[in-house]
Amino acid sequence: MRVAGLFVGLTGNAWAETQPVQRLHDFLARAKSLQADFSQAQIDEKGNAGSRSSGVFYLQRPGKFRWNYTQPHQQEIVSNGGKVWFYDVDLEQVTAKRLNAAIGSTPALLLSGDVTLESNFNIAEQGADEGIYWIKLLPKSEESGFNYVLIGLSGDTLAGMELNDNFGQLTRIYFSKVKLGGKLDASLFDFKPPAGVDVFEEK
């Protein structure tokens, strides 16, 4: 992902400060529900490509989402009711995290409506690259667990995300077959740990 430099707004600093926020809020106002395929790649601090995965993403605002990882391993990440559940099927292990503590593990929380963007992030114009308009969110708290998140919009819909953690590792996600506004089954966002799995809940 090659991100263009900061744009210089023709209408001055006010445009630069408000335009990214407005674009993002316009999208989120439309995205009451969303379904999309995704592909994800890990890039280490030296720029080397690591593991790749793919699956389906579901979003129901406010406060609900599900990542279904299908390749190469089956995993589920579900947010509902102020918690985020991470279920690794192969390891038979579930981890539950508080909402604010989970952003560094799943940047989709920034789309859920459970996190107030302006209160928690400085939002910056990042310009357009290969048809995707990028918005950068810089956490105001030094205890966030990550350096920044990029949200990419293509036209009026979600195209990608990138998270840079405190160890210099990048998580890059690209979305395809995006459907906005469809009716999603409420059971998608219900999660109960399967019988017999180990459950670890962070306080």
The CATH number linked to 156 is 2.50.20.10
The per-residue pLDDT for 42 is 87
Domain-located, residue 170: yes
What is the token pair recorded at 3? 């991100």
- Sequence-ordered alpha helix ranges (H) in the chain: 13-30, 117-120
Tens digits of pLDDT across the chain (203 residues): 444 333 333 344 443 444 666 778 888 888 889 999 999 998 887 777 878 999 999 999 888 999 999 999 999 999 987 788 999 999 999 999 887 666 666 777 788 877 778 888 888 888 888 888 899 999 888 777 788 999 999 887 899 999 998 888 899 999 999 999 888 999 999 999 999 999 998 76
List, as one string, the DSSP characters of 149-166: EEEEEETTEEEEEEEEET
Domain-located, residue 134: yes
The per-residue pLDDT for 108 is 76
What is the token pair recorded at 58? 């579901």
Domain-located, residue 78: yes
Q: Is residue 85 exposed (0-12), middle (13-18) or buried (19+ Cβ within 10 Å)?
A: buried
Alpha-carbon torsion 102, 106, 107, 108, what sign? negative
Which residue range is the domain that position 104 belongs to? 19-42+54-177
150-173 core/surface letters (b: 16 or more CB in 10 A; e: else): bbbbeeeebbbbbbbbeeeebbbb
Domain-located, residue 48: no
Q: Tell me the CB-side half-sphere exposure of residue 13, using CA atoms within 13 A.
A: 0
- Sequence-ordered alpha helix ranges (H) in 70-139: 117-120
CB of 49 within 8 A of CB of 41? Answer: yes
- Sequence-ordered alpha helix ranges (H) in 6-116: 13-30
Q: SS3 of 102, please? A: helix
Q: Which residue has the tokens 């290969």?
A: 130
What is the token pair recorded at 96? 């539950």
Domain-located, residue 82: yes
CB of 75 within 8 A of CB of 89? Answer: yes
The per-residue pLDDT for 75 is 93
Domain-located, residue 196: no
Domain-located, residue 81: yes
Q: Which residue has the tokens 């038979």?
A: 92
Count of domains forming the chain: 1
Q: SS3 of 107, please? A: helix
Domain-located, residue 13: no
